[in-house]
Amino acid sequence: MLIDRYLASEILRPLALGVGLFLLIYVGFSLSKNLSMAADGLIDTATALQLVGLSSLTTLEVILPTALFFSVLLVMGRLYQNGEIAALVSAGVSPLRLMRSVGTAVLLAALLAGLLSIFGRPWAYDSIYRLEAQAISRLDAGELAAGQFVSLDVDGYMFIADDRAEQEKLHRGVFLFRTHENAEGVVHKELIRADSARLPRFDPGREAVLVFHDGYSYLLGPEGRSDLSMRFGEMSIVWGAAEQAREKYKSKARPTAELRSSDQPKDIAEYQWRLSTPLATFLLTLLAFPLARSKPRESRLRPNVVALFIYLLLFAEVSMVRTLVEQATLPPVPGLWIAYVPPLLLLLALMAPERLRQLRRRPPALSPGQRAH
């Protein structure tokens, strides 16, 4: 039907623009972060560019449903505002018929998001973690730049030095911040200020030892309790960065088939997240149709603000339920699936009045006697 092709083409244009725009923003942010790490000597430029590409792939499973939601909202809102929907309804084309006309396109988008989540996501994260582990294992801490903060995300360390002696590979005027847990699971923050420090090269499978000379160490307990300070002449810290990088190989990087048989809460949450991505895409897109309703020539501000609020609310709800599943606060059944009950009920509530109006317009069925006359 002509209207099917028209709606599909109208939605496709802002969808492509939205995906490109969101992706461009993310790539710019990721490029800035990774090139900054390359400038600090943490990774090389080629690795930085690879990380940008792989991390961009992981965002597509979120960008695609978001762009599709706002594309449908934009196109349907314009049709309502220009009176085109009213003209179509007067010609016998209901809003429900319009939803069905783009149903195939929505299903294809949901399928694509599902493929990205089930197959693309674990492959991308597996590649990211391997690159990070390789970068850490090749890192020569003695070459870290002086005069700027250097963050090693793998360990949660923040390091800065006033100066660096090239030949001795010795940093001077050193400040180090790190967080770590004790045996009881209590998180402490540690600050180290030293006149100089010798930082090693990190080798795979070996512990690296950081040696600090002439300084102070401050161990800060939670909520200001159990704070300790120490003056030292020499202090060594064992830094198993390469091992911790390998431990970062989390459930995000595990194949979907492996997650299915796991009984770990984080694996269960990740598995349900991947499987529910197509459902989330489909429900979110269908919600955009009734949320776009407005009267002809009416301002689009109020419907758009309401739609944005509902989108943010649903996104926050799914994230919260996923966290509950990860923490084993919510059992695997119903698990993450319960997060999609409210949007489903909202969709039914918004579409019910239109369905009732459609039933009222339908002429009553004729009895056999009436057909004979």
Q: Which residues contact 202 (CB under 8 A, 6 or more apart)?
A: 136, 137, 138, 139, 140, 141, 208, 239, 241, 242
> Per-residue pLDDT tens for 272-303?
999 999 999 999 999 988 888 877 777 778 88
3-state secondary structure of 94: coil
Confidence of residue 319 (pLDDT cuts 50, 70, 90): very high
The pLDDT of residue 242 is 46
Comparison of pLDDT for 91 and 50, the residue scoring more: 50
Query: With pLDDT > 70 as the criterion, what percentage of the chain qualifies?
Result: 78
Cβ pair 293, 303 in contact under 8 A: yes
- Listed in sequence order, the DSSP H helices in the chain are 2-39, 45-81, 84-90, 95-101, 103-115, 121-138, 241-247, 256-260, 265-291, 301-326, 341-361, 368-372
**Which of 282, 285, 290 has its CA nearest to residue 96?**
290
Answer yes or no: is pLDDT of 373 > 60: no
214 pLDDT tier (thresholds 50, 70, 90): very high
**Amino acid at residue number 254:** R
Return d(Cα 7, Cα 19) in angstroms, integer: 18
Return the pLDDT at 69: 92
Domain boundaries, the chain: 2-136+249-361, 156-239
CA distance 3 to 11: 12
Least confident of 180-184, 286-290, 311-315: 180-184
Average pLDDT, the chain: 80
Instruction: Quickly tell me which residue has 């694996």 as its tokens.
Output: 267
Q: pLDDT tens-digit profile of 151-161?
A: 655 556 777 88
Band the pLDDT of 80: cuts 50, 70, 90: confident
